[in-house]
Amino acid sequence: MSDLWVVVPAHREAARIGGALEALAAQHDRDFTLVVVDNASGDDTAAIARAFARRAPFPVHVLHEPDKGVGCAVDTGFRFAIGRGARLLARTDADCLPHPGWTAAARAAADRGAGLVCGRIEARRDEHGPLGRAAFRALVLAAAFFGRVRPAHRRSHGYRCAYRMHAGNNMAVTARLYEAVGGMPRRPSPTDRLFLNRVRRHTTAIVHARDMVVENSTRRLRAYGVLGTARWYLDRGPGAHGEDPR
């Protein structure tokens, strides 16, 4: 069995998870095991994943996590994988499309000594044209800049390295580091930044791999707008928007 495991949390993703699964099946490096964590979906998400498992070019496990929240689903999937021998854990989301070199790039970065590998996110091409994708890149750059200058992220707070933005839907982490920092926080959202800061307090072995690319859904951005999305990432919650659409 491969030492690389890929975890995909999924909440009510029946309309989109098929694309993510096909993108994983198209990887150049398919020497991995896939874990799909059905996070209290109530639709056909798990059934679609189980049907894919019957023809997938790699082993597939479909888990059920009843406690709603992406942090809960990710932590359940990662710990399941570690318990079965995983040494490197990669994650993307059920509404994302990893490029064909995604798993190979994650493995290569870990082989070079990275503990946490952060990839590059782009807007999904089937959701946006060139102008929309350019606008998304500009927003990502703006968010990354804000993260670097945010007072709470300064190294004086005990961090061992400078802050650089980390997308939870495009990451890989060694099992050893994941356990050493206590794993992914199950709550509160956004858990990805909390996890990154746990890692920053523990190690400097954080690598940004530009060849590890995932096309990202912009559903939250379209549902919340720019200001509402900023509110979410500043720990102010969804405001009047209700449940997180992702």
Residue 229 lies in a domain: no
For residue 190, whether the previous peptide bond is cis, meaning omega lies within 30 degrees of 0, is: yes
DSSP state of 171: E
219-231 and 130-149 helices, crossing angle to 10°: 30
- Cα–Cα distance between 36 and 203 in angstroms, integer? 29
Contact, 23 vs 105, CB < 8 A?
Answer: no
Q: Is 128 exposed, middle or buried (0-12, 13-18, 19+ CB in 10 A)?
A: middle
**Given this model, what pLDDT does residue 226 score?**
56
Residue 230 lies in a domain: no
Residue 241 lies in a domain: no
* pLDDT averaged over 10-residue windows placed end to end, the chain, 246 residues: 91 96 98 97 96 98 95 97 98 97 98 97 88 81 82 88 90 98 89 94 96 87 60 52 48
Residue 101 lies in a domain: yes
Residue 40 lies in a domain: yes
Residue 233 lies in a domain: no
Q: How many domains does the chain have?
A: 1
Contact, 140 vs 216, CB < 8 A?
Answer: no
Residue 234 lies in a domain: no
DSSP state of 185: -
Torsion of CA 119, 123, 127, 128, to 10 degrees: -150
CATH number of the domain bearing residue 153? 3.90.550.10
Residue 17 lies in a domain: yes
Residue-range definition of the domain harbouring residue 142? 4-221
